[in-house]
Structure 1
Amino acid sequence: MLETVNKVFQTFGASVLVPIMIFVVALFLRVKPKTAMMSAFYAGVGLTGFGWIITMFTPVVTKIIKQMVNNTGIKLPVVDIGWQAGSLASFGSSVGLSFFVFGLIAELILFALGITKIFMASNLWNNFGFMIWGTLCFYVTHNFWLSLGLSFFMLLYALALAEIQADRWSDYYGVKNASVSSLHNIEQTVPAIILDPLWNLLGFNKVKMTPDYFKRKLGVFGEPTTLGALLGIIIGVLGNIRALGTLHAWGQILSFAIQLAAVMTIFPLVTGVFAKAFTPLAEEIDKHRENDGDAESTFEDLIQDKKRWFLGVDDGVGYGEPATIISGVILIPIMVIIAFILPGNKSLPIVDLISLPFMVESIVAITKGNILKVIANGIVWFSLGLYAASWLGSVYTGAVSHYGVAIPAGIVLITSFNLMARPLNALIFAAFISQNPLWIGLAVLVYLILLYALRRYRPTIWQYLKRMSDKNAGYSGSNQKINY
């Protein structure tokens, strides 16, 4: 059975299976078949568009980053080759495939029982984020049930974090009743909340580093397209710092500037198409609320509504939002430099640097698009993540190669900056592979306390996060961010 599931998924891929899931969910929500079909098509078109852009742009970014690395002469033994290898390995293991099948059932049960208010089943594709950690655990411990339990446990806490930031994400990105929930991009909720008082103490909340401010103050130079070109020139110069006197170098620099400007321009358009897949579903949730007598709901009504629930949507929905993509691109050279100077770090981020806009979405939403705070949070959290990726280098390399993924020639150890540079995930992984009931029990206890607080104090948590968000100078609405 598991082999059949793997063959089906590998044959059709996310761009086919995700639209099918969207279509089924839409019909379940009583969306008209015609609208449900268009939602499914928009999902497929959006995923295909993301795939095309990232597939074309990744080699370009990778080449520039490798040149930056070569210019320094610093060699780090754990090399980031992208999340795709981890995804393939997770589908090649019995633990991973078991979770793909039974995890979907668990997601439906958790939602039906009210343990979570996130309908994760609509974000089927990102289950590989849970699968890869179970796969690594099985490679280390050879304990199938412990490893499968780890994947399920990570699902539980990811859903809790997704619900905590759901109101802020939905409000900021302008997608009603939706939240990102993928494991590899949800844990940034933690630093975004914990570190915010520190940034406010330093006055970061008063700094108007937002796309809207750039537009008003810089005019054409504040447009995402122009900012993309300027950032492209800066990154291109860093990648050609030893050859700036050559025609070839400037050809590459200016070409990269245009290519990055194109990404900054086109990605929001694709994002808009992809978001259309979820709009009818979110509107249907609102209709159900109106039918229950909650029409014209205020913010206070929404946060007090115990029946309010959210669709788990793909992170691609927010990738093209200006503050998100600008913050992510700015972090690219910063994280490369940090990788070189961070004491004890062995991990070199390369291919997954293009995923940085995905990785900062929760921070962007919680900080109301304050780019300075996003960068500050990213520096702190992803620096800790580099240590996690360094520690996991040998385990990740062994598991990926064991489950059928070829390691590039000349590379000793590999990692995925997007999947493995995860401090919180790494701590939970460490607790489970210890096979010590005390550490595993402690992890479970922390989750149960978090779940209890969320179920009992969800309105209070959301009110606090809104007040925290409103302290930031910047965007006051969502209509300028993603156009549907």
Structure 2
Amino acid sequence: MWEGIETGINYIVDMGASVMLPIVIAILSVLIGVKVGKAIRAGLMIGVGFVGLGLIVDLMNSQLGPAAAAMSERFGLSLSVIDIGWPGASPMTWASEIATIAIPLAIVVNIVMLTFKLTKTVNIDIWNIWHMTFTGAIAYVVTGNFWIGILGVIVHAAIAYKLGDLWAPMMVDYFELDGITVPHGTSAYMAPIACVVDEIIERIPGLNKIDITADILQEKVGILGEPITIGAILGTGVGFLAGYSAQEALPLGVQMSAVMVLMPKVVKCIMEGLLPISDRAKEIMTKKFGNSEFYIGLDPAILLGDPQVITAGLIFMPLTLLIAVLVPGNRVMPFGDLATIGFFIAIAVAVHKGNIFRTLFSGSLIMYMTIWIANQTIPWMTALATSTGSTDGTHMIAALDQGGSPITYIFTQLFTFENIIGMIVIAVIYIGSCYVAIKCSKKRMAAVNEQEE
């Protein structure tokens, strides 16, 4: 019986997020009382959104990817290990031996934490359980101990749901997403760094007065500050830095303009599809637990429609390549995740209330730490890829998304001690940042409550 369930889960997972999520959302919607027609429409709308998102990401990969590679070659960057990104890391994670049990396990952890009031986050984003699965898969392939892998899934899941609670005030205060949170992915686990940066800048006279947002730019410089124009300028700029002629650079600028305009529209499709199940889930939780507050955990893609997030994401594409050069001993060439850098800094933008100036500082630290950790996990990533048949092991691989996760890195190092000093440094920085983030979250929640009164 279990083999049949395993085969069914793998069959659905292998179809990718654009098919898996609509199926899961439609089924869950019907199970919790949403009308069948409405549930099917909601599922399809989410599928449409993810197809659109995939097309935009593919456009960025196919056009910005070669430009980034050309820029790297032009400036003589000797980075030998390619970042395969989440599009490469997620399939090999789902192909691991841990994957089949990870989905029900992560759901059970969520239910247990909700029951004992250890979290307010109700995660309905099944696809992104791959992040939790990744920690388990890496721990298992590195240690050879299946139960350590299972523990990795549990630990990452528990941390993710607490991160969902942590970022909920930012969701309503900045993104105006009431009752919704983003508990997983690079957005959630790297944002504590932004809280530290924000606290530091607040204490520096002069710097604490600088506030640059896409809206302010638009007011000051008119059309030059509009997202469509910013996309054109940044895209063309990357083209020229790559050594392109005007005939090649200008089309890249227009394509990035398209990204700036189309991304928010695509995200609206995902949000529209998620509303029925979100509203119904809140109804059920309210009836069952009274006036207790709950947050519906969704994919960080819902944050990419914000102009500040898109603008910062485009800025960080070339900037991440520069940061990669500055990381001592770095071998990782940012590539697969360059198109989705917005995921890394989305919540950081919310922490800074859309201030792109502050986001440049926090985003740089986030990418620096991510690249440093991704270097340490190169052998682990390669071992996972080899164990799942994704590579023959002759070429080393890396991934910024999840491969650069402090959660995965610290957890696995606890059982391997391959780099004790590195583990201690990252653990101290990360745990300290999380402590600051908790205080930051409480402040924002108090501000939200004050506004509602």
Contact 1:79–1:415 (CA<8 Å) still a contact in 2? yes
Distance 2:440 2:280 in 1: 26
Partner SS, residue 401 of structure 2: helix
Shift of 1:288: 6.8
For 1:234-253, list aligned pairs within 5 A. 234-240=237-243, 249-253=245-249
1:332 aligned onto 2:296: no
State the partner residue of 1:265: 261
Structure 1 stretches lacking a partner, 5+ long: 244-248, 295-304, 471-475, 478-484
Distance 2:310 2:447 in 1: 22
1:230 aligned onto 2:233: yes
Deviation per residue, 1:42-76 (Å, 9 max, x gap): 21111111112212321211100100111122212
Q: 1:465 aligns with which of 419, 444, 449?
A: 444
Shift of 1:448: 12
Partner SS, residue 420 of structure 1: coil
1:352 aligned onto 2:348: no
Q: 2:179 aligns with which of 177, 182, 185?
A: 177
Shift of 1:127: 0.9
Shift of 1:98: 2.0
Shift of 1:418: 1.8
Partner SS, residue 267 of structure 1: helix
Distance 2:273 2:285 in 1: 20
Equivalenced residues, count: 440
Shift of 1:153: 0.3
For 1:131-142, list aligned pairs within 5 A. 131-142=133-144
Distance 2:101 2:278 in 1: 30
Q: 1:13 aligns with which of 11, 16, 35?
A: 16
Q: 2:213 aligns with which of 202, 210, 220?
A: 210
Shift of 1:80: 0.6
Q: Report the RMSD for the aligned CA atoms in angstroms.
A: 3.4
Contact 1:130–1:183 (CA<8 Å) still a contact in 2? no
Shift of 1:450: 12
Q: Which amino acid aligns with 2:354?
A: G
Contact 2:192–2:433 (CA<8 Å) still a contact in 1? no
Contact 1:61–1:351 (CA<8 Å) still a contact in 2? no
State the partner residue of 1:71: 74
Sequence identity percentage: 23
Contact 1:123–1:313 (CA<8 Å) still a contact in 2? yes
Q: Which amino acid aligns with 1:142?
A: G
State the partner residue of 2:299: 314
Distance 2:56 2:137 in 1: 29
Shift of 1:284: 4.3
Q: 1:380 aligns with which of 355, 360, 365?
A: 365
Contact 1:81–1:350 (CA<8 Å) still a contact in 2? yes
Over 3 Å counting, the alpha-carbon distance change for 1:34 and 1:138 in structure 2 is same
Shift of 1:11: 4.7
Q: 2:397 aligns with which of 398, 408, 414?
A: 414
State the partner residue of 1:60: 63
For 1:110-149, list aligned pairs within 5 A. 110-120=113-123, 122-149=124-151
Q: Which amino acid aligns with 1:320?
A: G
Distance 1:469 1:238 in 2: 43
Q: 2:89 aligns with which of 86, 91, 106?
A: 86
TM-score between both structures, scaled by the size of structure 1? 0.82
Shift of 1:449: 13
Partner SS, residue 123 of structure 1: coil
Q: Which amino acid aligns with 1:214?
A: L
Distance 1:87 1:312 in 2: 19
Q: Which amino acid aligns with 1:309?
A: F
Over 3 Å counting, the alpha-carbon distance change for 1:330 and 1:4 in structure 2 is same
TM-score between both structures, scaled by the size of structure 2? 0.87
Contact 2:109–2:157 (CA<8 Å) still a contact in 1? no
Deviation per residue, 1:354-408 (Å, 9 max, x gap): 1111111211122211111222111012102211111111221121122111379
State the partner residue of 1:301: none
Distance 1:367 1:287 in 2: 32
1:103 aligned onto 2:97: no
Partner SS, residue 106 of structure 1: helix
Over 3 Å counting, the alpha-carbon distance change for 1:11 and 1:222 in structure 2 is same
Contact 1:208–1:370 (CA<8 Å) still a contact in 2? yes
Shift of 1:6: 5.1
State the partner residue of 1:405: 390
Structure 2 stretches lacking a partner, 5+ long: none
Distance 2:445 2:209 in 1: 16
Larger deviation: 157-166 or 199-208?
Answer: 199-208
Distance 2:259 2:87 in 1: 20
Q: Which amino acid aligns with 1:38?
A: R
Contact 1:93–1:403 (CA<8 Å) still a contact in 2? yes
Q: Which amino acid aligns with 2:444?
A: L
State the partner residue of 1:362: 347
